Amino acid sequence: MMITVLAILCIFLMAAALFLNLFGLPANWIALGFAALWTFLVPDTAMSLTVLAVMGGLAVAGEILETLMVQIWGKKYGGSTMGSVGGIIGALIGAIMCAPILFGIGALFGALAGAFLGSLAVELFRGRHNTEALRAAWGSMLGRFGGTMVKTAIGCAMVVIAAPRILP
């Protein structure tokens, strides 16, 4: 009975960790950490090192896709590499600053606004025309949103993979 309660708690913590994606934090890695901790503490579980490796590969893919989406969408809308970097930094700052709003939901909006403003600031600083800089910033913001959604979806897949192997 107690092992079932602990298993449900572990799965809940893995799922709850996915909300950290809104802050630009390594939520999928934290979820993987909970799965690895469960495997270590309950060695007779169905969770194997192979499954943990697959989940690790998914976490790597999530990080790569998130970063690529910001860069690809930024470039698609005329942004520079430095503008993409500004968008990434701005998104992190915006997410942290807006996290207390609406019980943490503000972090998503802060990340989007931060991606836009960070990219815009860098593009304007580099001497881009206002219209071009605004377009590039829009692309950076769209990329941030898409990247966050893809990374969160991958995290959900990780929880779905782990849950039946954690439950007794």
Give the pLDDT confidence score for residue 142 in this predicted structure: 92
Identify the helix (H) or strand (E) that includes residue 152.
helix 130-166
Burial class (CB within 10 angstroms; exposed 0-12, middle 13-18, buried 19+) of 161: middle
Phi, psi of 43 (to 5 degrees): -65, -20
Q: How far apart are CA 149 and CA 155, in angstroms?
A: 10
Closest CA to 149 of 112, 114, 116: 112
Indicate the DSSP class of residue 84.
Answer: H
Give the pLDDT confidence score for residue 24 in this predicted structure: 76
Q: How many residues does the chain have?
A: 168
Q: How far apart are CA 167 and CA 162, in angstroms?
A: 9
The predicted model scores a pTM of 0.84
Cα-to-chain-centroid distance, residue 157: 13
Tokens of 89: 């930094």
Burial class (CB within 10 angstroms; exposed 0-12, middle 13-18, buried 19+) of 164: exposed
| Sequence ranges of the domains in the chain | 2-166
Give the pLDDT confidence score for residue 44 in this predicted structure: 82
- Residue ranges for the chain with pLDDT beneath 70: 103
